[in-house]
Amino acid sequence: MSYVMILIGCVFVNNVVLSQFMGICPFLGVSKQMRSSVGMGAAVIFVMLCATAITYPVYKLLEKFEITYLKTVAFILVIAMFVQLVEIIMKKLMPPLYKALGVYLPLITTNCAVLGVTIGNIDNGYNFLQSLTNALGTGLAFTLALLLFSGVRSAIEDSDFPETFKGVPATLIAASIVSLSFMGFTGII
Amino acid sequence: MEYIIPIAIFAALGILAGVLLTVASSVFAVKTDERVELISDALPQANCGACGFSGCADYADAIVNKGAECNLCRPGGKASAEKIAVIMGVQVTAAEPQVAFVRCSGDCKITPHKYEFDGIQSCAACNRFYNGSKLCTSGCLGYGDCVAVCPENAVSIVDGIAKIDNSKCMGCGLCAKACPNGLIAVRNISQKVDIFCSSNDIGRITRSVCSNGCIGCKMCERNCEKGAIKVIDNHAVIDYDKCTNCGKCAEVCKIHSVRLVERLAERA
């Protein structure tokens, strides 16, 4: 599959949050302001790219010993270790970046979107470059979904509607409507 | 037999991860001064920014690492300044307490609206349409942007304009930043004279829309011995650093736009 097709597929047709429903927790938690959305998106793209780069050789190792059924456990172990390592190094070497993005890193560690990308690479049978493109596309999809939803949320904040719907119910309903709107992209690829 | 290899691989991976993280956490350790944490506990955690730093944690860091003064916290006041002084081992005197003041008295009884506003009920929003719904373009609109940001609930809307309760206000200045017309000033609590109109329109227009309006006649400016009160942009402006609270300007103001703040408390 060409790389552009992979990117378009990731971002619009199979948006990780709005079509595949992975990574919903930070999606609802961080999307209150546009600035934190951009920060979270950047951190997710970085983690996804690096996680793919690391889990690809790990999977090759598992294949060699024919224990591919253990890929979920192995990936979780590797991703968690990697994110923790990045946080330690970032805190020491790049304090301003740590201040901006550091809060999000633990949130991303257990985010199923990252695991979803790494397992998706295997299920789709991508080679290394295609896996990286898939990871980049998924990160961009996540950022796009966050940015769109933070705009929607700021519009909801100022609106007037029944007391029973204020807060979480309104947010969830809005999220489902945004997800519905992305259904329009199905079948493009 | 075939279980040994997966178990061995996972044990190896686990041990590798543990060792790597342990080594990294000692090699890349960041030294933090424990005083930062102690000072942070002594601060009220209002995160209002009145000290000039972005939040209480930042101020604590600035005190220890950048030599910031210990008495800049307004909500914490004397109590937190003293605690911080003890931690840092220095002597301090607390800064004088400040309160905010709304420099507009055009309430709904004397100032009419030019239109009914049905949009987002916020001063910043209403102000975008022909400079607000009041006939006076610089007046308090009363939709409560200042009320919403006050951490002490010191601001309330009385008769359609904002009023600040001096007993609750701690002078953090969040309301002053929220007001789209810049009507709120933060000054020392000992300030006894203040202006009750900030209208930029000329006297004739100001008086036609609000009977409390300042006409910019400069009587106050001429009678002030210290040059603390001046007419700028068609309304009186007090320089709080120069004012000695003598009250002369309030005496000569014929339309009572400059008043003794005490007297207002009695009236209300």
Assess whether B176 and B196 both reside in one domain.
Answer: no
B112 and B72 co-located in one domain = no
Nearest alpha-carbon partner for A2 in A140, A129, A184: A129
In a domain, residue B152? The reply is: yes
Alpha-carbon separation of residue B203 from B230, B250, B258 (angstroms): 15, 18, 15
Please identify, among B166, B187, B208, the residue that sits at the C-terminal boundary of a domain: B187
Residue B24 lies in a domain: no
**Secondary-structure percent of chain A, ordered helix, strand, coil, rounded to 5:** 80, 0, 20
| Statement to judge: residues B109 and B162 lie in one domain | yes
Surface of A (98-157) touching B: CB under 8 A: none
Tell whether B90 lies on the interface with A, counting CB pairs under 8 A: no
pTM score: 0.63
Residues B179 and B125 in one domain: yes
- A72 Cβ under 8 Å from any chain B Cβ: no
Regarding whether B168 and B132 lie in a shared domain, the answer is: yes
Interface contact flag, B13 A70, Cβ < 8 Å:
no
- Chain B nearest-CA distance from A92, in A, is 6
**Facing residue for B5 by CB, picked from A65, A77, A81:** A65
The residues that bridge with B99 in the sheet, in sequence order, are B187
Based on the domain organization, do B213 and B257 belong to the same domain? Answer: yes
Whether residue B210 lies inside any domain: the answer is yes
In this prediction, residue A11 carries a pLDDT of 92
- Judge: B21–A88 Cβ closer than 8 Å, yes or no: yes
Q: Do B268 and B200 fall within a single domain?
A: yes
| Residue A71 to chain B, least CA–CA distance (Å) | 11
Report ipTM for this prediction.
0.72
**What does the pLDDT look like over A57-110, one tens digit per residue?**
999 988 988 888 889 999 999 899 988 888 888 888 887 778 777 777 777 777
- B23-27 contacts: CB < 8 A, separation 24 or more? B24/A85, B24/A88, B24/A89, B25/A88
Quote the number of domains for chain B: 3
B115 and chain A: CB distance < 8 Å anywhere?
A: no
A95-100: long-range contacts (C-beta < 8 A, 24 or more apart)?
Answer: A95/B30, A100/A39
Of B187, B207, B231, the last residue of a domain is B187
Question: Between B13 and A94, where is the model more confident?
Answer: B13
Q: Quick check: is B121 in a domain?
A: yes
Domain carrying residue B259? 191-268
CATH code, B143: 3.30.70.20
Task: List pLDDT tens digits, range B96-144.
Answer: 778 888 888 888 778 888 888 888 888 988 988 888 888 888 888 888 8
The verdict on B3 touching A (C-beta cutoff 8 Å) is: no
B217 inside domain: yes
Domain count, chain A: 1
- Where does a domain end: B134, B162, B187? B187
**Residue A97 belongs to domain spanning:** 3-185
